[in-house]
Structure 1
Amino acid sequence: MTSPALVLAAWLRAELPPAKAALLDDVDGLEPLLERHVASAREAWPELALDIPTFLRHMARHLPAENAPEVLRQLHASDLYLACACAAGEESALRGFERHVLRRIPERIHTLPRDVVDEALQQLREQLLLGRADTPARIASYSGRGPLLAWVTISAARLAAGLANREGHTPFSEKSPDTYVQLLTPGDPELELLRKDSRTIVADVLRKALAAMPGPERALLRLHHLHGYNMTQLATVFGDSRSGIARRVLLARGRLLKLTRAELASRLRLDDTQLESFLGLIRSRLDLSLSNLMI
């Protein structure tokens, strides 16, 4: 018989397949950890009527198989609690989401026209909060691994940028291969040394490298390089300090270069010296871009 002191852990384990439940054996103090998550959620949203078993069931659905203990320790529990209640259609949760999340979006993507931002927010409300007969509301896909505000801001920025593109800008995904190369190396005379087919390969390599990166890092680089966000703006979007976001951008940049190098090495017949020279064109422009954004 389960002890009352272990009721939260028992509920969570009951919602997990055996293999994933076994991973929780590595979590020291699982019950106190869950108690803190529940307490922080209820303290942040006392007006919500969401019951705890439903919350734990939702939490269980988002625990990955690879690193469930670490995800559980770092969980943004109060944000996940709000998202779960929104997915359930609880009116007080929807009001809280509007007041504490959506109303803060315009100040975080203020570089785009306000009418475009407003339209993006309206579309975002529909996408995130309105489910369909066979599909739950997309807010249910929020996993609690990062701040809910940052997760929503990234979605809003993408939507707004897409709307702005449709009003006269060419979507980046539809631009020529040269655009991908010149994004990182504009004005470099050495580009003329690259054959047309090599430029196409580089463009394809960059696409694949970006696609292989973790979502948050990919979002950082896209907002940074494609939408012109500086470090202060990125720090606001992701809820981090300016120095912290700068480190994250540098790490993301490093991962992009590493993935790009590996893919180029497999696609182009270059010796190490040629490969490093080729990569230098990309690396040097990334350094300059980062320096400009830090001003």
Structure 2
Amino acid sequence: MLPERPLSAAFLGAAAEPLRAELGSAPWTLEALEKTLGDLVREAQKAYPTIALGAESFVAYVAPRVRSEVELRQLRAGDVYLACALVARERSALQIWESQLVPSLDPALAKMRLAPERVLEVKQLLRAQLLVGEGSSPPRITSFTGHGDLHGWLRVTAVRAALKLLRREKREVLVDGDTVLADRTSGDDPELSYIKEVYRAQFKSAFQFALDSLSDREKNLLRQNIVDGLGIDDLAGLYRAHRATVARWLAAARETLLRRARERFMQHARIGSAECNSILRMVHSQLDGTIRRRLQSA
């Protein structure tokens, strides 16, 4: 049930100044905001009806995590509602954490072939980091913005926690090698190996989709540069264009490829922008190898 006090007042009171200025400047804007917030609360309560969390508290929690009304409309209401309730230590939310969220980590941790005691240690570490916080740091669940899937965000967080434990003990994670995301061998960084294991199908599909969407000239430029090894001066002579022009063409082709691959990857892997950026940073140094293989097989 929604409160009598406008939700927009609670939301704008916690929002950053640019967003307050954007949404609070006209009556019709406030009316639209009120409806959007009401829909968000109803969607969240429908997803987790057992959670007892005030609507005003929820929208005030959401406010600092969005930068525009568009982001607000795209929010995963149920996921951020659950995160908010976990921060508030709401009883039903904590039960959902133990009965649903923590068990959902088992498949990801199983791929790392952790010993049972290590799995328990990772889960306990997550409880401390995400729900309690460390020292003066707030619970890390507060960093979840609701723009991606909570289960996916939690899975990545759990794997990183496990890898930190393994690295501290100077142990290696035994995962199957793969050449979809990188050219490395069994000496791989463990976190990158895990990413290859979990996301390789989605990454391969997204990258191929992006490559197929390029124009013939863009594909030829990338092939001639990366596969054939032609430099900017070589390409400038080949295309009878200034080297600065060719450099812009090449940079634009690469940027288009990576942007489209990123968008497709986020959509298919059901991850948020921050998680996607983290994954792509890990494989950035190896992207030329991926492009080379795709172009050679095209």
Task: Report TM bin, short chain.
Answer: 0.5 to 0.7
The change in CA–CA distance for 1:70 and 1:113 in structure 2 (over 3 A counts) is same
Residue correspondence of structure 1 range 253-272 to structure 2 within 5 A: 271-272=232-233
The change in CA–CA distance for 1:223 and 1:70 in structure 2 (over 3 A counts) is farther
Which segment is superposed worse, 25-34 or 151-160?
A: 25-34
Give 1:249 shift. Answer: 9.3
Show the counterpart of 2:95: 95
The change in CA–CA distance for 1:250 and 1:128 in structure 2 (over 3 A counts) is farther
Equivalent residue for 2:56, pick from 41, 53, 56: 53
The change in CA–CA distance for 1:284 and 1:224 in structure 2 (over 3 A counts) is farther
Show the counterpart of 1:21: 20
Equivalent residue for 1:226, pick from 193, 212, 215: 193
Q: Which amino acid aligns with 1:7?
A: P
Q: Confirm whether residue 80 of structure 1 aligns to residue 80 of structure 2.
A: yes
Show the counterpart of 1:218: none
The change in CA–CA distance for 1:249 and 1:141 in structure 2 (over 3 A counts) is farther
Instruction: In structure 1, list runs of 5 or more residues that go unmatched.
Output: 172-182, 188-221, 236-241, 252-260, 262-269
Show the counterpart of 1:162: 164
Q: Confirm whether residue 39 of structure 1 aligns to residue 42 of structure 2.
A: yes
State the distance in 2 between where 1:223 and 1:69 align.
39
Show the counterpart of 2:290: 286
Tell me if the contact between 2:76 and 2:147 (Cα under 8 Å) persists in the aligned partners: yes
Show the counterpart of 2:149: 147
Equivalent residue for 1:138, pick from 137, 140, 145: 140
TM-score normalised to structure 2 length: 0.58
Q: Which amino acid aligns with 1:155?
A: T
Give 1:5 shift. Answer: 8.7
Residue correspondence of structure 1 range 93-242 to structure 2 within 5 A: 93-115=93-115, 116-131=118-133, 134-169=136-171, 184=182, 225-227=192-194, 229-230=196-197, 233-234=198-199
Tell me if the contact between 1:224 and 1:234 (Cα under 8 Å) persists in the aligned partners: no
Aligned to 1:227, what secondary structure does the other structure show? helix
State the distance in 2 between where 1:121 and 1:289 align.
39
State the distance in 2 between where 1:224 and 1:29 align.
44
Show the counterpart of 1:247: 206
Q: Confirm whether residue 12 of structure 1 aligns to residue 11 of structure 2.
A: yes
The change in CA–CA distance for 1:37 and 1:290 in structure 2 (over 3 A counts) is farther
Q: Percent identity of the aligned residues?
A: 27
TM-score normalised to structure 1 length: 0.58
Aligned to 1:105, what secondary structure does the other structure show? helix
Q: Which amino acid aligns with 2:111?
A: T
RMSD (Å) for aligned C-alpha atoms: 4.1
Q: Confirm whether residue 62 of structure 1 aligns to residue 65 of structure 2.
A: yes
Give 1:76 shift. Answer: 0.9
CA distances 1:14-44 after superposition (whole Å, capped 9, x unpaired): 3224422133367994333222211121112
